[in-house]
Chain A
Amino acid sequence: MTPERWASIKEIFNEASDRPAPERPAFLDSACGGDEPLRGEVERLLRQNGESLKSPAGELLAEASSLAGGPADRWAPGTLVGP
């Protein structure tokens, strides 16, 4: 997957999800222009569209933070972290 490919999938996904479901097949026909893998990927995402994904932070962070020996123990002064 390249960033350009991802950008195309995103654009078509966004436009398709703005349309009512019955109009989507015709829209995908024209937007994907016969690129079946592209269409397949957009359809795969559209099938999951609207699924929720709740952050686990609220329910698990306090408990997770109470574990002994967290990441701080790995960071001796001078350790390189981050990108």
Chain B
Amino acid sequence: MATGEVTLLLADMKRGHKDALGKLMPLVYAELRRLAGHYLRGERAGHTLQPTALVNEAFLRLVDQDRTDWQHRGQFIGVAAQLMRRILVDYARQRAASKRAGAAVTLDEERLSPADNADRTEEILAIEEVLDRLAEVDAQQARIVELRYFGGLSVEETAGLLEISPRTVKRDWAMARAWLRAELADRKSP
């Protein structure tokens, strides 16, 4: 992989070139998937993957470190979080579909108990569904949810990326969480 290509695409994105994101996504996606696969193969019991570490490693591998700056890094993390959202939602959809079809689930079930796994799948799909509604009324708050929930970023990382205070992230995240929980509760007992 030419590190120059991703570096140039990040620079294009910063200048507002609309097609840069479309070209960037498959490259970042392939690298995230490769690294995650690598992690799975070398996994030790009880060792949890750190999403931020994975994204950092992808950034170091894909981006020419001599020709980059912190803004590129922020953009890269933003793109990675969008991709992680897609990866997790696609996964949850497949799980839900195979459950409906009664097909044997071939994925590794050992990491979580079946009940936890089903709850998580349902939660991911429900949040994906209501997050677009939140984006319509508060785009920044929806971004915070995307970065924290799907991207696994900490309060401080989210604040740095969005250039807002950690206090704002904490408050917006607390309210979004309460709202998401309320929406999920209403779905279970309408």
Query: What is the number of residues of chain A that contact chain B, defined by CB distance less than 8 Å?
Result: 43
- What interface size band does chain B fall in? 35 or more
Residues of A within 8 A of B84 (CB): 57, 61
**Is B36 in contact with A65, judged by CB distance below 8 angstroms?**
yes
**How does the 8 Å CB contact mask read for A11-50 relative to B, with 1 for contact and 0 for none?**
0011001000000000000000000000000001111111
Q: How far is the CB of B81 from chain A (nearest CB, A)?
A: 9
Contacts of A64 in B (CB 8 A): 36, 87-88, 90-91
Q: How far is the CA of A53 from the CA of B179 in the complex (A)?
A: 11
Does B131 reach chain A (CB closer than 8 Å)?
Answer: no
* Docked complex Cα distance between A3 and B139 (Å): 10
A14, B175: Cβ atoms under 8 Å?
yes
Instruction: Give me 21 A-to-B residue pairs in the complex whose CB atoms sit less than 8 angstroms apart, sorted by A's number.
Output: A10-B172, A14-B175, A45-B182, A48-B181, A53-B149, A53-B180, A55-B149, A56-B124, A56-B149, A57-B51, A57-B88, A58-B50, A58-B152, A59-B111, A60-B91, A61-B51, A61-B87, A71-B29, A71-B83, A75-B29, A82-B22
Listed in ascending order, the chain A residues whose CB lies under 8 Å from chain B are 1-3, 5-7, 10, 13-14, 17, 44-53, 55-67, 70-72, 75, 77-82
A-binding residues in B (CB < 8 A): 19, 21-23, 25-26, 29-30, 32-33, 36-37, 39-40, 43, 48-51, 54, 82-84, 86-88, 90-91, 94, 107-108, 111-112, 120, 123-124, 133, 136-138, 141, 148-152, 171-172, 174-175, 177-182, 185
